[in-house]
């Protein structure tokens, strides 16, 4: 099938969170918001029950990927889990009994994309603690997707998490680790590998001919020449010098506290930050409802809403589908670019 004839593969996420209801809401807004065709991988009966409980008029159709795009205009296409597993969930009450279905949905979505039946993976939010309680070995979605992307007998690719919005794009160099571990993990090699992947995918996926990167410092004032910590001077600065010698346009390390105001944002396409929260706090402050999580460095396109499961509001019918809709639209845009040679677009509008 041509890329336009393939649906996006949307995962179930944690069924006790807001994932199922924002998927239903996104389908209802398909015409008004330009939502591209997607197929949810999960339990059709559970989706029907969720729609009924929320009072949403959403017909659910159990279909194969080949028929999903045609069906999408009149019903939400759902592909049952390959195992036939059923889902039972109480909103706001995560249950390890659903861990297998959550993981199976992710695996099935990747299989669909790798087989060519779907054009990209879009993941609904999961709660990592639910999965780790049953032996899930990965820190989160990003790392699990990298493991799934690995070819037989090869090391998984380095997954790079980019949070994208029209206002700001950011990349945390270290992701789901305790803050006290960051100085040991933040090596010059990791910074360089991350920046190379960001640079390559901004060119290949986003169509930027010469991406502009900036690197935030780890310590206050980017270390003040070593007086407030040596990592900026001894690790980050040499990494930037090496990357610039390769022809990559990157500046830094620069103080994080002056990197995200409007004038500063106009000088770069993406900001790399040493820690998870250094990167995610500014984008979630500026674009909480519109931000999209994009995994770079994978052999397929993967996007996700930039928020979590929101167990506190699950089942109340108040969750906004905006970030999921943005993730679906961006996934389609990225997946189509190599095939259709669409006009390149900047990371920031």
Binding-site annotation, residues: 141-142, 176, 221, 276, 284, 293, 302
Chain-centre distance of CA 120, in angstroms?
12
Q: Tell me which DSSP letter residue 225 carries.
A: T
CA distance 261 to 255: 12
- Collapsing DSSP states into helix, strand and coil, what is residue 41? strand
Q: Smallest Cα–Cα separation from 253: which of 281, 280, 216? A: 216
Binding residues for substrate: 141-142, 284, 293, 302
Long-range contacts of 194-199 (CB under 8 A, 24+ apart): 194/158, 194/160, 194/272, 195/239, 195/243, 195/248, 195/250, 195/272, 196/243, 196/246, 196/248, 197/158, 197/160, 197/296, 197/297, 198/160, 198/162, 198/171, 198/270, 198/272, 198/296, 199/248, 199/250
Residue 102 · residue 12 · CB < 8 Å: yes
CB 288 within 8 A of CB 250: no
Would you list which residues are annotated within the binding site for a divalent metal cation? 176, 221, 276
Collapse the DSSP code of 42 into the 3-class scheme (helix H, G, I; strand E, B; otherwise coil) and give the result: strand
Coil, helix or strand for 25? helix
CA angle 234, 195, 271 (to 5 degrees): 90
């Amino acid at each position: 099938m041509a890329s336009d004839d393939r649906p996006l593969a949307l995962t179930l996420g944690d069924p006790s969170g807001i994932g199922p209801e924002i998927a239903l809401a996104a389908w209802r807004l398909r015409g008004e918001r330009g939502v591209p065709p997607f197929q949810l991988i999960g339990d059709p009966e559970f989706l029907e029950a969720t729609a009924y409980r929320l009072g949403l008029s959403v017909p659910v159709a159990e279909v194969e990927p080949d028929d999903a795009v045609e069906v999408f205009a009149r019903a939400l296409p759902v592909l049952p889990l390959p195992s036939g597993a059923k889902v039972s969930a109480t909103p706001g009450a995560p249950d390890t009994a659903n861990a297998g279905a959550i993981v199976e949905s992710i695996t099935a979505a990747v299989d669909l994309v790798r087989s060519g039946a779907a054009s990209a993976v879009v993941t609904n939010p999961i709660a990592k603690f639910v999965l780790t309680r049953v032996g899930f070995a990965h820190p989160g979605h990003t790392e699990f997707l990298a493991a799934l992307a690995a070819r037989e007998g090869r090391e998984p690719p380095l997954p790079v998490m980019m949070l994208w919005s029209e206002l700001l794009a950011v990349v945390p160099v270290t992701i789901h680790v305790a803050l006290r571990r960051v100085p040991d993990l933040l090596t010059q090699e990791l910074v360089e590998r991350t920046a190379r992947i960001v640079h390559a995918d901004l060119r290949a996926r986003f169509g930027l001919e010469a991406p502009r990167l900036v690197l935030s410092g780890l310590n206050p004032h980017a270390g003040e020449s070593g007086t407030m910590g040596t990592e900026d001077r001894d690790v980050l600065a040499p990494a930037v010098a090496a990357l610039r010698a390769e022809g990559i346009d990157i500046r830094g390390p620069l103080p994080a506290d002056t990197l995200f105001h409007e004038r500063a944002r106009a000088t770069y396409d993406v900001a790399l930050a040493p820690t998870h929260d250094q990167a995610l706090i500014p984008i979630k402050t500026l674009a909480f409802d519109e931000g999209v999580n994009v995994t770079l460095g994978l052999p397929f396109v993967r996007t996700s809403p930039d928020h979590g499961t929101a167990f506190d509001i699950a089942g109340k019918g108040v969750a906004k589908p905006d970030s999921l809709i943005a993730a679906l639209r961006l996934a389609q845009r990225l997946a189509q670019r190599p095939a259709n040679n669409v006009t390149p677009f900047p990371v920031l509008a």
